[in-house]
Amino acid sequence: MHDNKSGLDPLLFFINVFYLYYLIDVMKSNFLIALTQLAAERNLDRDTILSAVEEALSSTFKKESLKSGHNISVKLDTETGDFNVYVVKNVVEEVLDSSIEISLKDAKKINSDCEIGQNILTGKLNEAGGRIEAQTAKQVILQRLREAEKDLIFKEFQGREGEIFSVTVVRIDQKKVFVEMGRAEALLPVNEQMYSERYRVGQKFRILLKDIADTPRGPELIVSRADTILLQKLFEQEVPEISNGSVDIMSIAREAGNRSKVSVVAKQEGIDAVGSCVGLRGIRIQSIVSELQGEKIDVVEWSNDPKILITSSLNPAQVAKVELIEDEKIAIVWVPNQHLSLAIGREGQNARLAAKMTDWKIDIRSVEPEESKEEKIDTKDKLFTPGHGEDVFRKFAEEQIEEEIEEEVVEESVAEEEVVEESVAEEEVVEESV
C-alpha cells in the first residue's frame, strides 16, 4: 500500500490530491493511488468511490449545463485518471429541443443498439474542465462517501442485534450518550442507561446492541446497558459452563444498576450450577458485578418444584412455609416475623424480583399475625408488564440522591455555624485579654 507520508486521514489525503489534480491537472498517478488507499482504509468498494467522484464532477458542471441547457455526465478513466464530460440526450422520433434530445437516426450513428426513450452519451465537453468548482466537488464526494460508509456499517451490524460489544464513550449530548463501536458510532439513550451510572468521555464498558433504527440521517445503532439480555450475555462470556451448554440460565429478573436475580440449572451430573456462576472465591460473579458498576446479583438454583424455587428466590430471607393456589398461580409465603422486611425488601424490590424470576404472584405474610405484622406484595400484574416497578425504583433512587444532597448541604451549614461560633469565641477571648 502507498505510504501516506503526509500523515493525513486517507479521506483528507484523497481530497487534497483531488484539489491538485483537478485544479492544476497534474499528479494523476497520486490521485489513483489515493483513491485505492481510501478504498482499503475505509473498507469501501473502489467502484463506490469512483461513482462518488463521477457524481461530484457532474455536480461541478451543473451551473454550466443549466446555462447551455445540456444534461451532463462525467466518466472517469480508472487507468489514466482522465475524466470526460459528455452531453446526455434522450432518443426521440421527433426532436423538439436539440440540447437534450437526439433523433433515432443520429443516435444509431453513436450506438447502433439504441432505442426510442433511451439516454445516450453524445459529444464531449472537456473544455469545461477549467471551470470546475472544486469546493462543490469536495462536498459532494464527502457526502456520497459518508452515505456509502453508513450503508457499509448497516450491513456490518445487520442481524447482530442481541450481541454485546466493548465500546468507548466519545461524546455526551445532554443526557444522550454516544459510544464508539469500531468504525461506527452508537447511541445509548436515557431509557437504556443504568440509573446509578455516571458517564464520561473516554469511559469503556460493554453494551448490548439492541436495535438498528432507520432515521432520516441513515441507520442508527441503539445500544443498552439496562437490558436483561446484557446480563445474560455477560454470564455467557464469564462462565464457560454456560457458553458450552453445561449450565442453563432459566430466568432473569433485573432492575438495572441496583439488583438482579438469576436462576440456573445444571444440564450434566456432577456440575454445581450456582458454584460455576459464582466461581472460585467469587471471581466470576465479581467480574460481572464490576462491569455493571456494583449491581448486586443473586444466583439461585432453578427447580421444577415451585415451592423450592420460590423459597430460593426470596434469599437471603428464611421461608417457613409456601402454599400454592395453582389455578391463579399465586404463592402465599410465610416467613418469620424478623425476616418479613428482608423478604419484602426495600420498596418491595426483593419480592418484586422474586415474582418476576419465578413467574408467580407472591403474597408474603408473617407467621405471627397476632402482632399485626402481616404484609402483602401483590405482583400479579408485574409479571407480564416489561419494566413494571421501575418507576417506583427510579423514584426511590432519585429521592436517595436528593437526600444525600440535602445531607451534604446540612453538614456544610453545620460546619459553617461551628466556624462562626469559633470566631465569636476567639473575639471574646481577645476582649478579655484587653
Instruction: Give the start-to-end residue ranges of the domains of the chain.
Output: 10-152, 161-224, 227-302, 303-388, 395-429
Low-confidence winner among 11-25, 31-45, 50-64 (lowest mean pLDDT): 11-25
Query: What is the CATH code for 303-388?
Result: 3.30.300.20
What pLDDT was estimated at residue 113? 86
CA distance 169 to 189: 13
Residue 48: pLDDT band with limits 50, 70, 90: confident
What pLDDT was estimated at residue 31? 61
CA distance 14 to 153: 21
Q: Which CATH number fits domain 227-302: 3.40.50.2300, 3.40.50.720, 3.30.300.20, 1.10.520.20?
A: 3.30.300.20
- Measured in Å, how far apart are the chain's first and last C-alpha atoms? 88
* Same fold: 227-302 with 303-388: yes
Low-confidence winner among 19-28, 38-47, 129-138, 200-209 (lowest mean pLDDT): 19-28
CATH topology of domain 10-152: N Utilization Substance Protein A; Chain:P; domain 4 (3.30.1480)
The 10s digit of each residue's pLDDT in 218-252 is: 788 999 999 999 999 999 999 999 999 999 999 99
What percent of the chain has pLDDT above 90? 43
CA distance 249 to 273: 9
Residue 86: pLDDT band with limits 50, 70, 90: confident
Whether pLDDT at 6 is above 60: no
The 10s digit of each residue's pLDDT in 301-356 is: 999 999 999 999 999 999 999 999 999 999 999 999 999 999 999 989 999 999 99
Partners of 301 in beta bridges? 264
Higher pLDDT, 398 or 183: 183
Whether pLDDT at 76 is above 60: yes
**Cα dist from 404 to 295, 341, 407, 409, whole Å:** 19, 23, 5, 9
Whether pLDDT at 35 is above 70: no
Q: Give the pLDDT mean for 26-37.
A: 58
What does the mean pLDDT of the chain come to? 77
Whether pLDDT at 420 is above 60: no
CA distance 207 to 167: 7
Whether pLDDT at 295 is above 90: yes
Q: Give the pLDDT mean for 122-146.
A: 59
Whether pLDDT at 417 is above 70: no
The 10s digit of each residue's pLDDT in 103-131 is: 988 888 888 888 898 888 887 665 444 44
Q: What CATH class is the domain 161-224?
A: mainly beta
Residue 365: pLDDT band with limits 50, 70, 90: very high
Whether pLDDT at 284 is above 60: yes
What pLDDT was estimated at residue 235? 98
Residue 138: pLDDT band with limits 50, 70, 90: low
Whether pLDDT at 401 is above 50: no
Closest CA to 359 of 324, 398, 393: 324
